[in-house]
Structure 1
Amino acid sequence: MPLRLSKKQRDILIGTILGDASIESCKKEDRIQINHSDKQKEYVFWKYQHLKEWTLSPPRRIGYKDKRIGKINWGWRFRTFSHPEFTQYKKIFYSGRKKIIPSNIKDLLVSPLSLAVWYMDDGKKRPDCRGAYLDTICFSKEEQTRLIDCLRNNFQLVNTKLHWNGDGYHIYIPYISIDRFKELIKDFVIPSLAYKLPYTRNDFLPKRQKMVVQNPS
């Protein structure tokens, strides 16, 4: 029987393709590469367990040299074998070598599991209030607007918007939608990444540090 992705595997793949995963071209078909830092080792192995039947070897620890400072950064990586299933995702989510948001993203990003994986890959909570970001700076403003429409229509995150962060636009989920967002993803977020879950109206916010200004003597 030909190997086929399960619904859960598809949901995970859609989330991580929106996030940190890459799709590599091989001789005939394409493959998925998963790569995260040392701190996210548990997350790499979580993905591996769900995609294990599509791989030939377990995750390996890999060192990458940062040429700017001469430091070795360590992380964990695994790849699937090449397969027509992954080639189809390459056709959907890439234009040449550049990752894109397809026009039919509303038909693809429909599962809370996909949303949770995307957030575990590329999300962060605001430390000072009840809100959360999705790091979408690599996509154009038009593509991010497409994602926002998807989040509003498919997940009822009606107040999701673009937010300028100084280095570019990111998707921002504000206070009014944050309770629903957390409810959608919390059961899928693995324990080692629970720190990313945003504060909601029932959480106590950490106290903001007051800035002390000294008068010149």
Structure 2
Amino acid sequence: MSFTYSICGKLLGDGCITKQDGRKPRFQFMHRVEDVGWTQHCYEQLKRDIPVNPPAYRKVLDTRLKKGFSESYVVQSKTHEAITALYKIWYPNGKKVLPKQWIQQHLDERSLAWWYQDDGHLKIVKGIASKIYLSTDGFTKEENEFLMQWL
């Protein structure tokens, strides 16, 4: 799979693999409407290796939000044997887990860049970059410990 760095970054970031009962899995990701450029870039890169549909605009009414709605772009794949293989690795019991050995093989500077672009933040103090944050809220304490050691 020549696209493993991008899939690795996406699955650590905003990507997931969904599977409905009796159907094959599909890869998908969603970004804020303000990040349409990044969404389009990801789509263009991924469509070389897996069948992904173009970004689709989505507006969701939500009274909890100040504007009363949220806007995003969603990219979802069609089914593909590579996605089915990744589902078995990342979702062995139907729930996402970090596949440590797979990550050790595929997490490189490119996948780290994709992860950062999806779920990263640069903290700037007095005009100087001081920290890089990567969101890991969806991972267990053990998975976070693994990622800290591996990085």
TM-score band, normalised by shorter chain = 0.7 to 0.9
C-alpha distance in 2, partners of 1:87/1:145? 28
The percentage of aligned residue pairs carrying the same residue is 29
Q: How does 1:55-204 map to 2 (within 5 A)?
A: 55=51, 57-69=53-65, 71-104=68-101, 105-109=103-107, 111-128=108-125, 129-151=129-151
Q: CA offsets, 1:161-217, max 9 Å, x none?
A: xxxxxxxxxxxxxxxxxxxxxxxxxxxxxxxxxxxxxxxxxxxxxxxxxxxxxxxxx
Read off the aligned partner of 2:137 and give its amino acid letter. I
* Runs of 4+ residues deviating >4 angstroms: none
Counterpart in the other structure of 1:202: none
Unmatched 5+ residue regions in structure 2? Answer: none
Cα deviation, residue 67, structure 1? 4.8
Taking a change above 3 Å as real, the CA distance of residues 57 and 106 of structure 1, as seen in their structure-2 partners, is closer
Q: Which has the higher contact order (CA 8 A, sep 6+)?
A: 2
C-alpha distance in 2, partners of 1:28/1:99? 17
Unmatched 5+ residue regions in structure 1? Answer: 152-217
Task: Pick the structure with greater CA Rg.
Answer: 1
Cα deviation, residue 31, structure 1? 1.1
Cα deviation, residue 39, structure 1? 0.9
So what's the TM-score if we normalise by structure 2? 0.85
Q: What is the root-mean-square deviation of aligned Cα atoms in Å?
A: 1.9
Mapped contact 2:6–2:46 kept (Cα < 8 A): no
Equivalenced residue count is: 144
